Amino acid sequence: MRIHKIVMLGNKDHGKSTLIGNMLMLTKSISQERIDEAKRISRALGIPFEPGFLLDSFSDEREKAMTIDTSRAQLVYKNSAFELIDVPGHEELITNMLTGASSAGTAVLMVSAKHGEGISKQTKRHLLIAMMLGMRNIVVAVNKMDSEGYKIESFGEVRNRLSAFISSAHESMGAVNAEFVPISAYNGDNLISKSENMEWYGGPTLMELIYRYATGTGKRRDIGLRAVVQGEMQGNGLACKVVSGRLFTGQRVAVNPGRLLCTVNRIIRAGRSVPQAGAGASPVINLSPYSIMQRGGVISEATDMPMVGRNFSAFIFLSRIPKNPSIKINGAEAKCHIRIGRELDINTGRLKEGRAVSLGIYRASIKTLDELAFEKFNTLTELGRFTIYDSAGFSGLGIII
Amino acid sequence: MIEQNLSELEEKSIYIMREAKMKFKNIGALWSMGKDSTTMLAIARKAFMGKVPFPVIHIDNSIDFPETYKFRDYLAKKWDLDLIVAKSEIKPEISGFSCCGANKTEALKRVMAEYGFDALIVSIRRDEHSIRAKERYVSPRDKDFVWDYKNQPAELWDDYSSKAKKGGHVRVHPLLDWNEIDIWRYIKKEHIPINALYISRNGYRYRSLGCTHCTVPIKSDAGNVDEIIKELKTTNVEERSGREQDKEKEYIMQRLRSLGYM
Ligand SMILES: Nc1nc2c(ncn2[C@@H]2O[C@H](COP(=O)(O)OP(=O)(O)O)[C@@H](O)[C@H]2O)c(=O)[nH]1
């Protein structure tokens, strides 16, 4: 079964862990043992049962009621499988949030309707990052409706304000579909079945929206063959990963950067020779003429090559300002210079003149020391995204536009 | 228990193991002769042209089951494995929680130092325990084997960039995405030999294997791999509930792991 990966985004304390915990219980996807354990711990801490404890598994996470790192839980709904990814909503833990979000195809954004909580900077930042990572369908779960007497006005306020923000972000980040659903993660309203507490809401439940978005995001666009070189396999050939199209024996291919023209002689998949390999496969191949291939090189049909160069425009998110950065794209690594352009204003969602600060999203032009092969993010996601590092480690990510 | 796409899982595990082999100088793998680490070796054979290209380490506390030793010697020969047996001493006064920590970790530390491994392949899965759901595919450990779970490096897309800090090593987790039932479906599909303890005898079988001191069998009539798969489709019991060490304290896994025990 294919598993649809869903990331839960939003400010900390707006109810992500509670939601996932309750969804697991309502769909009977968790053992009684785990539920009993979470109940025991809640009791020991002297608080009412926290469904979030089913996920937050470190003692410090439970005691401080704060998700520190990502965690995952699987459930089945209408014969489809989903993996819900919980990420920290805390500003300092943005790297962990990115780690979780990068593997998901659909996002649920949690916003608490509770008085004093509402839409925060962190809510908007998560939303913009999700848009940047290419998530075009976003379910907005307006949570804690119980603390606002399940009133339509509280829902309406969050919906109106966030819709306005999303529309102004369209211009720079592209359009997204956003659907809003009022819920109480704690009481279970509108999670799997319709709530009787909110008769005024006529739309689908949260799980139904997740189901529609995740299963409906149609087949990915396949451009021609694009396979990424992973490295030499000790004299046995070249390990690579097919990200689009199809490799077959006898095929005339080009390896870029460098425009090496070769023929595919042999394809070995999981130890066996096969005539072809499609997207998702990690075969070992023999090319003739043999030559040393760089990690991160892109194999394509000789007549249909990827973009190759040292300059490109990007949207980048910086978790920290890097010093002497390099970028990594499909295993290739290159020293680079990043020229920061306009900043995406976290308050308005529009581009404005800015200065590089951490936790910002920017338009940027990137110049690399070595030539790289890539695609625009919108053409082929896998070849159009990169990470940014410096000697102190990870400092951001980007997409090629 | 959700059944995932086996060939997707296999391809990703192959990719991760190749990444590890290319990035690190000196890799070792833990082999407990259990179903997960044996499956990992079967995948490694596919990833590396029929031969596991790294040594496999058995932390032997001399109180494993006879079946386990027999299976080890059988498969080591059949698959031509480069087997390292690291003897760990069981002190009778240490039991339960401290048993695995004090006894196994010490032996592992010795073997890591002696061979100078900079990366260790460990066959954990996310669905084993909620703490394991927080692991990275490539996860650094410091020189004392401590897992700094509060400060894990980023790991985006296929970019497994984490490096070992000075004096430490990285753990590589190629089976992180697999569910227990996927392991059994794969064992069936690939005809992977398994330890006899998983098969029911007199109404009991082992679902998760530790040593004779901390593993208890579950009630089961599953007499072959097909029946195990069938059993897992309907079970509502945690895989590791047969392990005493988990019961003892709520956060034991966290401690074991931060102490460096897998
Ligand atoms: N009243 C109310 N409280 C909630 C609801 N959902 C979560 N909470 C509480 O909000 C707090 C933070 O929730 P948690 O799930 O840990 O938030 P996270 O940081 O987003 O994962 C906890 O005390 C929850 O009990 C809800 O629907 N209604």
ipTM of the complex: 0.89
Q: Report if residue B221 sits inside a domain.
A: yes
Q: Report if residue B56 sits inside a domain.
A: yes
B84 and B211 fall within a common domain: no
Number of domains in chain B: 2
Q: What pLDDT, on the 0 to 100 scale, is given for residue A211? A: 95
Closest-CA residue to A338 (of A395, A377, A257, A298):
A395
Q: What pLDDT, on the 0 to 100 scale, is given for residue B239? A: 73
pLDDT bucket at B253, cuts 50 / 70 / 90: low
- Tokens found for residue A359: 């936790």
Is the pLDDT score of A64 beyond 70?
A: no
Contacts of A330 in chain B (CB under 8 A): 158
CA-CA distance, B239 to A360, in Å (whole number)?
43
Q: Report if residue B17 sits inside a domain.
A: yes
Measure Cα distances from B181 to A17, A156, B39 in Å: 26, 44, 12
Q: What pLDDT, on the 0 to 100 scale, is given for residue B97? A: 47
B125 and B203 fall within a common domain: no
Measure Cα distances from B84 to A20, A358, B66, B116, B199 in Å: 43, 47, 18, 13, 27
Closest-CA residue to B54 (of B121, B137, B110):
B121
Dihedral angle over CA of A129, A134, A137, A139, nearest 10? -20
Q: Report if residue B183 sits inside a domain.
A: no
CB distance A227 to A247 below 8 Å: yes
Higher pLDDT, B211 or A270: A270
B236 and B116 fall within a common domain: no
Is the pLDDT score of B214 beyond 70?
A: no
Digit-coded pLDDT (tens) for A77-119:
999 999 999 888 777 778 888 888 888 889 999 999 999 999 9
Residues of chain A by 3-state class (helix, strand, coil), percent to 5: 25, 40, 40
Q: What pLDDT, on the 0 to 100 scale, is given for residue B105? A: 79
What is the distance in A from the centroid of ligand 1 to the CA of A126? 18
What is the distance in A from the centroid of ligand 1 to the CA of A14? 6
B136 and B252 fall within a common domain: yes
Supply angle C-alpha A130, A135, A137, rounded to 5. Answer: 115
Q: Report if residue B185 sits inside a domain.
A: no
Q: What pLDDT, on the 0 to 100 scale, is given for residue B152? A: 83
B152 and B197 fall within a common domain: no
Phi and psi at residue B85, to the nearest 5°: -105, 120
Q: What is the mean pLDDT of residues A214-224?
A: 74
For A27, residues 6+ apart whose C-beta sits below 8 A from its C-beta are A75, A76, A77, A192, A207
Q: What pLDDT, on the 0 to 100 scale, is given for residue A158? A: 96
B135 and B225 fall within a common domain: no
Q: What is the mean pLDDT of residues B118-126?
A: 93
What is the distance in A from the centroid of ligand 1 to the CA of A244? 41
CB distance B214 to B245 below 8 Å: yes
Kindly calculate the radius of gyration of chain B based on its CA atoms and give it in whole angstroms: 17
Q: What is the mean pLDDT of residues A298-303?
A: 96
Q: Average pLDDT over chain A, rounded to whole? A: 89
Contacts of B20 in chain A (CB under 8 A): none
Q: Report if residue B52 sits inside a domain.
A: yes
B226 and B135 fall within a common domain: no
Is the pLDDT score of B81 beyond 60?
A: yes
Return the biggest CA–CA distance within chain A.
72
Q: Report if residue B252 sits inside a domain.
A: yes
B96 and B137 fall within a common domain: yes
- How many helices (H) and strands (E) chain B has is answered by 9, 8
Q: Report if residue B164 sits inside a domain.
A: yes
B214 and B147 fall within a common domain: no
Contacts of A236 in chain B (CB under 8 A): 49
pLDDT bucket at B226, cuts 50 / 70 / 90: very high
CA-CA distance, A299 to A306, in Å (whole number)?
9
B224 and B143 fall within a common domain: no
For A55, residues 6+ apart whose C-beta sits below 8 A from its C-beta are A17, A20, A21, A67, A71, A73, A86, B130, B133
CA B96 to chain centre: 19
State the smallest CA–CA distance between residue B134 and chain A in angstroms.
5
Is the pLDDT score of A330 beyond 70?
A: yes
DSSP-derived secondary structure letter, A193? S
**A·B CB contacts under 8 A:** 127
Domain range for B18: 2-178+248-258
Q: What is the mean pLDDT of residues A12-20?
A: 91
The residue of chain B nearest to residue A238, with distances taken between CA atoms, is B18
CA-CA distance, A154 to A197, in Å (whole number)?
14
CB distance A109 to A138 below 8 Å: yes
3-state secondary structure of A268: strand
Give me the residues of B, 28-67, that contact A with CB < 8 A: 45-50, 53
Is the pLDDT score of A375 beyond 80?
A: yes
Return the biggest CA–CA distance within chain B.
51
The residue of chain A nearest to residue B133, with distances taken between CA atoms, is A71
CA-CA distance, A140 to A9, in Å (whole number)?
9
Q: pTM for this one? A: 0.90
State the smallest CA–CA distance between residue B178 and chain A in angstroms.
12
CATH, residue B35: 3.40.50.620
Digit-coded pLDDT (tens) for A220-258:
667 899 999 999 987 788 999 999 999 999 999 999 999
Is the pLDDT score of A3 beyond 70?
A: yes
B78 and B36 fall within a common domain: yes
| Window from A245-254, A333-342, B89-98, B199-208 with minimum mean pLDDT | B89-98
Burial of A22 (C-beta count, 10 Å sphere; 0-12/13-18/19+): buried
Dihedral angle over CA of B235, B240, B246, B248, nearest 10? 50
The residue of chain B nearest to residue A21, with distances taken between CA atoms, is B130
For ligand 1, atom 26: residue with the closest CA: A144
B110 and B160 fall within a common domain: yes
Is the pLDDT score of A313 beyond 50?
A: yes
Q: Look at A241 and B45 and tell me if their CB atoms are within 8 Å.
A: no
